[in-house]
């Protein structure tokens, strides 16, 4: 345990160890990807998918080991019972920073199938990891500005179509799909600009959620709704590696796929999206209340 070191020193050590872990593991992904692509047969390539995911799990295990060895964090986690690596899950989560992904990978690694999440297309060019994410079949989505959509209305639904195609790629394989329904990280200024009706959340976007369930709803065993709270108020990656995060609270709630959302194209598209929107809004009300109950009051913080 290195938590006795000064924060900046500890942070630098953690970043160095995580970088070494990445440098050691990512080349294995590249080699496995070459073997996967060298034979253009669907069966051959599907055979390599779990091997690549296994390498990804080794990388996550390495990162988790670094966190355990360097940080003194009280992990308060509930809701991991009755999960299976042989089942597929759709994961939703509130989004505060990149630490959310580290937390999700830490608690779910080797408990459910390897988690994939949607990435902006620009991240494909991120050093080392961009190509690794591509090798692991992470779906990359291209975002369009409001001006671009106004000039070319046909671009409005292109991201949703990409979501559908990405999900169809995993059909028949155990997979965990993560979607941050808020679409971006929570910030007070964003919350105020949106005039969000929730105290601790931005407004959810149900479009990608609806398309994912339309493409793979019958394959998902459940929806896993994850609520992450950082009671100390520290949410950034630097806070994590410098010892400022002393407690992380995670609650995992399992929900059956709503029967109406398994109907897909058999009902009117506008009606289907409205059903998805209503279900997500109800979920967000529950999540907001849970975050409120798990968040220390200002009086409690000042007393400690």
Residue 289 is inside which H or E element, if any?
Answer: helix 269-294
Q: DSSP class of residue 139?
A: P
Structure tokens at 151: 């000039």
Rounded to 5 degrees, φ, ψ at 243 are 85, 10
Structure tokens at 278: 């209503």
Helix, strand, or coil (residue 9):
helix
Helix, strand, or coil (residue 32):
helix
For 34-66, b/e burial (b = at least 16 CB within 10 A) is eebeeeeeeeeeeebbeebbebbbebbbbbeeb
pLDDT digits (tens, 9 = 90+) for 24-55: 999 999 999 999 989 989 888 888 989 999 99
Written as one string, the DSSP assignment of 15-78 is: HHHHHHHHHHHHHHHHHHHHHHHHS--HHHHHHHHHHHHHHHHHHHHHHHHHHHHH---EEEEE
Q: Which residues pair with 106 in a beta bridge?
A: none
Q: Model's pTM, two decimal places? A: 0.89
Note down pLDDT in tens along the chain; length 304 residues: 676 788 899 999 999 999 999 999 999 999 999 999 899 898 888 889 899 999 999 999 999 999 999 999 999 999 999 999 999 999 999 999 999 999 999 999 999 999 998 887 788 888 878 888 888 888 777 766 667 767 777 666 666 666 667 777 777 789 999 989 998 899 999 999 999 999 999 999 887 788 778 777 788 999 999 999 999 988 999 999 999 999 999 999 999 988 888 766 566 777 888 888 999 999 999 999 999 999 887 554 444 4
Q: DSSP class of residue 97?
A: S
> Which domains does the chain possess?
73-303 (3.40.1130)
């Amino acid at each position: 345990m290195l938590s006795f070191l000064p924060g900046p020193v500890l942070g630098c050590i953690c970043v160095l160890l995580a970088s070494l872990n990445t440098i050691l593991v990512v080349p294995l992904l590249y080699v496995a990807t070459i073997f996967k692509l060298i034979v253009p047969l669907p069966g051959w390539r599907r055979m390599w998918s779990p091997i690549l995911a296994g390498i990804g799990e080794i990388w996550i295990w390495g990162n988790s080991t670094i966190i355990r060895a360097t940080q003194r964090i009280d992990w308060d986690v509930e809701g991991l019972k009755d999960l299976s690596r042989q089942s597929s899950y759709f994961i939703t989560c509130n989004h505060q920073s990149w630490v959310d992904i580290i937390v999700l990978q830490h608690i779910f690694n080797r408990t459910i199938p390897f988690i994939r999440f949607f990435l902006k297309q620009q991240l494909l060019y991120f050093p080392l990891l961009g190509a690794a994410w591509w090798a692991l079949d992470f779906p990359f989505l291209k975002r369009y500005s409001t001006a671009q959509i106004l000039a070319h209305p046909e671009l409005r639904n292109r991201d949703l179509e990409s979501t559908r195609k990405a999900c169809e790629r995993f059909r028949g394989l155990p997979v965990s799909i993560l979607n941050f329904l808020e679409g971006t990280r929570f910030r007070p200024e964003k919350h105020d600009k949106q005039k969000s009706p929730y105290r601790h959340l931005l407004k959810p976007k149900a479009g990608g959620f609806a398309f994912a369930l339309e493409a793979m709803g019958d394959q998902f065993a459940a929806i896993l709704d994850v609520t992450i709270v950082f009671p100390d108020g520290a949410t950034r990656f630097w806070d994590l590696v410098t010892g400022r995060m002393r407690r992380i609270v995670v609650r995992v709630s399992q929900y059956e796929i709503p029967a109406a959302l398994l109907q897909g194209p058999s009902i009117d598209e506008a009606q289907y999206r409205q059903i998805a929107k209503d279900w997500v809004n109800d979920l967000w009300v529950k999540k907001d209340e849970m975050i409120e109950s798990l968040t220390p009051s200002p009086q409690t913080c000042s007393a400690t």
